[in-house]
């Protein structure tokens, strides 16, 4: 039986992971759960899945959990997740935390030599050079959950890594793919939170609407598959049926196709590249009249231009990630406009042009905190 810990258990990826565990409870056992503040949902999960270790960020909720579950070890505080990981004794960590908060837990799991199913792309965007080196040194495998990278992983089984020519990463374009950049100035929060294809958490949904999510995924792909920026091509594909494609040296292309549902990539990562029966509805080709593809113009999709400009500068990628985290939060709190998110991200990168290209983890944490403070002091 595979023993797992889920970080971000009450979020979109976490709850979908638990749906899979529910159907395969003879094969998978939940040992640890971690969440931020959603106490009632966490209590439901504890009652159903009986973990032995639990983390909650909110300290008032921590006190309530200790009284409700005296036999379970409850963690909280700045280092609580890392402490739980060190004590969990599991086979796999599912990191579905949102934002930079996922970085240190990723590194802790690697130090404990625990394989990771990764949905926290921000870990690799901010610290890819550190994480991948530590993973290699500790013989730790990282299995991508993001649908695009999971698709790349599946497609690469059709050939050798040395035969890879290009990765074609698809992008739905979010709800505003038909708008010009100027027209996005009128976008409202309600409109931005309504994705046409996917059901996701608020931050990822806004990132998808600005296409910053695709920019972050480009850097994630760089580290996962050790590719150059000339080897990755974003493709606008509004239907979200093909999740990524691999072009090999003989110019053949392998695509991974499925309906837009995260259950499939989660289960594939959860089983470390093995398949079991999945209830994701199969594609009905009577309903798919056509699939559309278009190369993406960096002038229209400004986050792509920014990320390709800083592709080989890990520190500026960390700045971009941190600025975006702050600015999405400002937008969701009605402090800035939708259009301002990307403009402010761009200015943050420009302000930090002189920082060293590679930083150590403590320096990256300080940089993250500094960028967040700068962005939030509007």
| 175 and 233 belong to one structural domain | yes
In this predicted structure, the answer to whether residue 289 has a pLDDT above a threshold of 90 is no
Spatial contact of 271 and 182, defined as CB atoms under 8 Å apart: no
Domain membership of residue 266 (yes or no) is no
pLDDT tens for 58-80 read 888 999 999 999 999 999 999 99
Shared domain for 36 and 103, answered yes or no, is: yes
Q: How far apart, in whole angstroms, are the C-alpha atoms of residue 289 and residue 207?
A: 28
Sign of CA dihedral 131, 298, 244, 286: positive
- Please check whether residues 155 and 292 belong to one and the same domain: yes
| Torsions phi, psi for 368 (to 5 deg) | -55, -50
Are 218 and 289 members of one domain?
Answer: yes
More confident call, 5 vs 181: 5
The pTM of the full predicted model, rounded to 2 decimals, is 0.94
The candidate with the shortest Cα–Cα distance to 313, out of 362, 349, 367, is 349
Look at residue 45 and tell me if it is in a domain.
Answer: yes
> How confident is the model over 36-49, as pLDDT tens digits?
989 999 999 999 99
- Whether 239 has a pLDDT exceeding 90, the answer reads yes
Rounded to 5°, angle at Cα 272 from 95 and 34: 20
User: In which domain, by residue range, is 42 found?
Assistant: 2-144
Whether residues 8 and 107 fall in one domain: yes
Confidence of residue 200 (pLDDT cuts 50, 70, 90): confident
Lowest model confidence (mean pLDDT) among 91-105, 181-195, 217-231, 352-366: 181-195
pLDDT the model gives residue 278: 77
Round to whole Å and give the CA distance between 156 and 246. 7
* In the predicted structure, residue 234 carries a pLDDT above the cut 80: yes
Domain total for the chain?
A: 3
d(C-alpha 353, C-alpha 342), whole Å: 17
Please indicate, yes or no, whether residues 322 and 233 belong to a single structural domain of this protein: no
- Indicate if 110 and 186 belong to the same structural domain: no
pLDDT at 279 over 80: no
290: how many CB neighbours lie within 10 A of its CB? 5
Same domain, 20 and 102: yes
How much of the chain exceeds pLDDT 70, in percent? 100
Tell me: the pLDDT tens digits for 115-147?
999 999 999 999 999 999 999 999 999 999 999
The per-residue pLDDT of the chain, averaged, comes to 95
């Amino acid at each position: 039986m595979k023993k797992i810990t889920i970080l971000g258990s009450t979020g979109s990826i976490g709850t979908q992971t638990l749906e899979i565990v529910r159907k395969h409870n003879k094969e998978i056992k939940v040992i640890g759960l971690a969440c931020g503040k959603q106490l009632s949902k966490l209590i439901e999960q504890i009652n159903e899945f009986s973990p032995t270790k639990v983390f909650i960020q909110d300290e008032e909720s921590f006190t309530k959990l200790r009284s409700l579950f005296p036999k379970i070890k409850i963690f909280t505080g700045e280092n609580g997740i890392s402490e739980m990981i060190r004590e969990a004794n599991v086979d796999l960590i599912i990191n579905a935390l949102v934002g930079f908060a996922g970085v240190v837990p990723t590194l802790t799991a690697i130090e404990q030599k625990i394989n990771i199913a990764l949905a926290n792309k921000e870990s690799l965007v901010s610290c890819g050079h550190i994480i991948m080196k530590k993973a290699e040194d500790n013989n730790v495998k990282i299995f991508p959950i993001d649908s695009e990278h999971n698709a790349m992983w599946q497609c690469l089984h059709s050939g050798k890594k040395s035969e890879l020519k290009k990765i074609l990463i698809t992008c739905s374009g979010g709800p505003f793919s038909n708008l010009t950049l100027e027209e996005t100035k009128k976008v409202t929060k309600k409109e931005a939170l309504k994705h046409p294809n996917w059901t996701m958490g608020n931050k990822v949904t806004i990132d998808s609407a600005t296409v910053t999510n695709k920019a972050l995924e480009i850097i994630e792909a760089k580290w996962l598959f050790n590719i150059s920026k000339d080897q990755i091509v974003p493709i606008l594909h509004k239907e979200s049926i093909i999740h990524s494609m691999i072009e090999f040296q003989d110019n053949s292309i392998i695509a991974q196709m499925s309906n837009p549902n995260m259950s499939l990539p989660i289960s594939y990562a959860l089983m470390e590249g093995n398949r079991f029966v999945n209830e994701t509805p199969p594609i009905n080709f009577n309903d798919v009249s056509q699939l559309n593809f278009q190369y993406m113009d960096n002038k229209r999709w400004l986050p792509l231009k920014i990320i390709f400009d800083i592709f080989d500068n890990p520190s500026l990628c960390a700045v971009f990630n941190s600025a975006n985290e702050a600015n999405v939060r400002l937008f969701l709190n009605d402090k800035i406009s939708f259009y301002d998110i990307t403009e402010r991200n761009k200015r943050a990168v420009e302000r930090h042009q002189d920082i060293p290209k590679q930083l150590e983890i403590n320096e990256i944490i300080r940089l993250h905190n500094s960028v967040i403070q700068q962005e939030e002091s509007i």
